[in-house]
Every structure is written in structure tokens, then in C-alpha cells.
Amino acid sequence: MEHYNMNLTLKVWKQKNSQSKGSFETYKVNDISSEMSFLEMFDVLNEQLVHDGKEPIAFDHDCREGICGACSMYIDGQPHGPWQQNTTCQLHMRAFKDGDTIVVEPWRSSAFPVIKDLIVDRTAFDRIIQAGGYISVNTGNAQDANNLPIKKQDADDAFSAAACIGCGACVAACKNGSAMLFVSAKVSQLALLPQGQPERETRVLNMVTQMDKEGFGNCTNTYACEAECPKGISVANIARMNKEYLKAGLNTKE
């Protein structure tokens, strides 16, 4: 693939904290290699800002390998940018061309308040997991895996749901700021496996209740969440969660 350098204009959201009013600020970056990652380009910009005595842009990152989901940015109107099934840290500058103007924003959701600039508080997801995303574990040696037969389709579906990294792109993509894809992936992952059966009903009831408490919106059925998910989590999980929730609710009333 041909390597090239480019000059870019960045319009980046700057906001001191959740109580402050934010705005876009414009920056110029030059001689950016097409082989840089998007976050490396931001590193170059921040080095430039620090050199000029200005405050660098705050953005979140950790693994830079598409695993942790921390690198959450809204780039040119798309969570994680223009590449499909891709996190921001996996996005490379060859996705852009010389002279482009790139608009970068934080996730937009009342349940994800801005901490600073491009960093949002996603601990609402942690509280949803704490509400029910766990299994009972007895002490002693683990059971032999061969003693826990699981249908291949169930195992495949559970593995696919478990791929969710909790980045929040589904919330950012949804016009209602719904967390249904995230919650349904966590519910499905355990509902499909033998280990998840003891808490199966209380899990879905508690996690959905906590999701509502956090202020996430309702599902819009536009499938924007699936389209923007960096791990390709299917909306079929939402249908499964709704079924689990209805069944659990009926059993609770009996």
C-alpha cells in the first residue's frame, strides 16, 4: 500500500467538565503519515500543543489493540470512525486524504457525562454489570469441560456475545442513546451457558432495571447499534434479552 503524508484540519470538542459548556476548537496538523493510527495522530497534535504552551486534548486510551474499548471517539459523525468493526485505536490515517477536515467529538449521551474533552464517564456500564452480570461460583476444582455439554450453536452465540468490549459505540450511534445492545450481549452471554443458569432470571430483571435507572433510552429498532459496533454484536441478542425479560417477569408473578 502506498505511503503518503498529509496536512489536516481537526475540529475537536473541548469541554472542561460536565458542568461546563463545551465548543469546537480548530487545529492544524501537518506531515501526518498515512501509516499512523488515529491515536498516534492525536499524540502528535498534543505534543505540538504542549510545545506551544497550550493544554493538550484529553482523550481516553489503554491497550491500543482494539481490546479495551477505551478509545471512544465520534469521528466525522460515526463512532470509532469510518472503518467498520473497528475501534478508534485500530483506525489508521490512510482512511483520510490530504486536506481533509476531521470532526472529533465525545460520545453524546446523558448517561455518559463528559469528564473532560473527549473522555466520558462510562461507569453506568459497570453498574449494570454489577447488577447481574455474574455467576455463582462454588469453591473447589473446576468441573471437567467435557461434563458440561453445550450445543454448538449456543456456544457460538455465547462466544459472539462475549466479544462485546463495552465501549459504548452502540449508545453513541442510537438516536435514543439506548444501551440495549450492550446489556443484551451481557445477558445473552450467560443465559446461553450452563454456568449462567442459577441467576438467569434475576440477572435480566436486575440488569434491565439498572439500565433504566442510568437513564439510557429505549431501542429504536434502526439497527444503528449493530452497524457501528466494533465487534459486530448482533441485534439478535436484543430479541433474546426481551424474551428472557418477559419470561423472567412472568415467572416472578407466579
Residue range 159-200, pLDDT digits in tens: 999 999 999 999 999 999 999 999 999 999 999 999 899 999
Average pLDDT over residues 77-99: 97
Question: According to the model, what pLDDT value does residue 144 have?
Answer: 78
User: Residue 213 corresponds to which amino acid?
Assistant: K
Triad 125, 176, 89: Cα angle to 5°: 55
CB atoms within 10 A of CB 10: 19
| Mean residue pLDDT across the chain | 95
CATH among 1.10.1060.10, 3.40.50.2300, 3.40.30.10, 3.60.150.10 for 123-138+148-253: 1.10.1060.10
Tell me what pLDDT residue 166 has. Answer: 97
Please state which CATH number belongs to domain 5-115: 3.10.20.30
Q: What is the pLDDT of residue 254?
A: 56
Under the banding of pLDDT at 50, 70 and 90, the label for residue 253 is low
208 pLDDT above the threshold of 70: yes
**Could you tell me if 50 and 62 are in contact, meaning their C-beta atoms sit under 8 angstroms apart?**
no
d(CA 103, CA 82): 12
The most distant pair of C-alpha atoms in the chain lies apart, rounded to whole Å, by: 68
Under the banding of pLDDT at 50, 70 and 90, the label for residue 36 is very high
pLDDT band at residue 137 using 50, 70 and 90 as cut-offs: confident
* In the chain, where the domains are located: 5-115, 123-138+148-253
Q: Which residue has the higher pLDDT, 139 or 80?
A: 80
Query: How much is the average pLDDT of 70-93?
Result: 97
Domains 5-115 and 123-138+148-253 fall in the same CATH topology: no
